[in-house]
Structure 1
C-alpha cells in the first residue's frame, strides 16, 4: 500500500491533508529521512513529526467503559469513541464496539476494526463467556443459581430459553453471573424474571480477559496473546 493511502486510512486527514504533511516534510522514516506519498514502507518504520504512526488496521483494544457513556456513533451525549484519540474516529476500516454495554452498565468493552474477529466473538457458536457483577435491590432468594443453570429460563417476549448460566453469590445483594449469550439487556432481565432488580451492573471479564487495573475511561491496545484470552472459558 502506498504511504499516502496508509496514513489517510489511519485518520490523519483527507488525502489532501496528508499530502500537505508530505509537502511540509513532516513524514519521515525512523532514521529521519524524508518520505514521499508514493513510497512503500513498513508501518513500523514511518514517523510523523518524529512520532510513530498509530496502530495499523487489525487493531483490537479493551476499554473500561464508564457509566453514562453510550456504545454508539449517533446517540446524544457522550460516546465511547469520544474517549479515544480524535483521529481514530476517521480510521478506515472504522472502529466498532464488539457488542454493547448500555449507558447504565460499566466495565470491559472490546473495540476493533477487524470485522472478522468481531463476528467471531459475538457469534452464538463461539459461546464466549461474559462475566458480570450485579448489585441487586433485594437479597438473593437462594434458588437463582439453579434456575439460571437449568437452561430452561424463558425471558419475557423471547421464544427460546436461555443457555445455562453460572451464578455465584458474593453477598446477599451482590452476585457474579457468567453468561455465554448476548441478548438484549440479558442480565437485567434474568434477575427481573426472579422478581429482583439490578441497581448497578459491571462487566468484569470476557473469557479470561479481565479489566485488571484499567480505570474507568482508560483503554489499551491488545496483543495477540490477550485477544486469545477472550476465547478461553471464564474461570
Structure 2
C-alpha cells in the first residue's frame, strides 16, 4: 500500500489532503527526515507533525463512557466519537462500537475497526460475561436473584427466556449483575419486570477486562495482553 493511502485510511485526511501534507514536509521518519508519498510503508517509523501514527487497522479501544452521549456516529447530540481524536471518525475501515450502551449508561465500551474481532466479542456463542452495577428507585423485594438465575424470565414482547444471570446485592437499592447475553436495554427491562426502575447503570467489566484507572471520558488502545484478558472468560 502506498504511504499516502495508508495515512488517508487512518483518517489524517483525504488522499488529496494527505498529498499536500507530504508537500509541506509534515510527514517524516523517526529521525526527522522528510518522507515522500511513494516511499516504502514502515508504519512505526512514520511521523506526522513529529507524532507517531495512530495504530494501524486492527485498532481496539476501551472507553470509559460518560452519561449523556450515545453510541452513534450520526446522532445530533453528543456521541462517543466526540471523546476521540476527530480523525478517528475518518478511518477506513470505520471504527465501530462493539455493541452499545444507552445514553444514560456509563462504563466500559469497546470500539474496533476489526470486523472479525467485533463479531467474536458480540457472538452469543462466546457468552462473554458483562457486569453491570445498578442503582434502583425502590428497595429490592428479595426474590430477584433467584428469578434472574432461573433462566425462565421472559421480557415483554420477547418469546425466548433470558439466559441465567447472576446477581449480588451490595445494598437494598444496589445490584451487581453478570449477564451472558446483550439484549436491548436488558438490565433496565429485567428490573422493570420486577416492578422496579433503574435510576443509574454502570458497566465496569466485559469478559476479563475492566476499566482499571481509566477516568470517565478517557480511552486507551488495547494491546495483546488486554485482548487476552478480555477473552480469558470466553466459553465458546
- With normalisation by structure 1, the TM-score equals 0.97
Q: SS at 2:157's partner residue?
A: coil
Aligned to 2:101: 101
State the number of aligned residues.
Answer: 234
How far does residue 174 in structure 1 lie from its aligned partner after superposition?
0.3
Mapping 1:58-207, distance limit 5 Å: 58-207=58-207
How much is the aligned-residue C-alpha RMSD, in angstroms? 1.1
How far does residue 233 in structure 1 lie from its aligned partner after superposition?
2.8
Which sits farther off after the overlay, 64-73 or 207-216? 207-216
Q: SS at 2:233's partner residue?
A: coil
Q: SS at 1:16's partner residue?
A: helix
How far does residue 232 in structure 1 lie from its aligned partner after superposition?
2.5
Measured in 2, the distance between the counterparts of 1:32 and 1:233 equals 44
How far does residue 73 in structure 1 lie from its aligned partner after superposition?
1.1
How far does residue 97 in structure 1 lie from its aligned partner after superposition?
0.3
Q: SS at 1:135's partner residue?
A: strand
How far does residue 215 in structure 1 lie from its aligned partner after superposition?
1.4
Q: SS at 2:146's partner residue?
A: helix
Measured in 2, the distance between the counterparts of 1:74 and 1:94 equals 13
Q: SS at 2:107's partner residue?
A: strand
Q: Deviations over 1:181-210 (max 9, x none)?
A: 110000001111111111100011001211
Q: Tell me, which stretches of 5 or more residues in structure 2 are unaligned?
A: none
- With normalisation by structure 2, the TM-score equals 0.97
Which sits farther off after the overlay, 82-91 or 224-233? 224-233
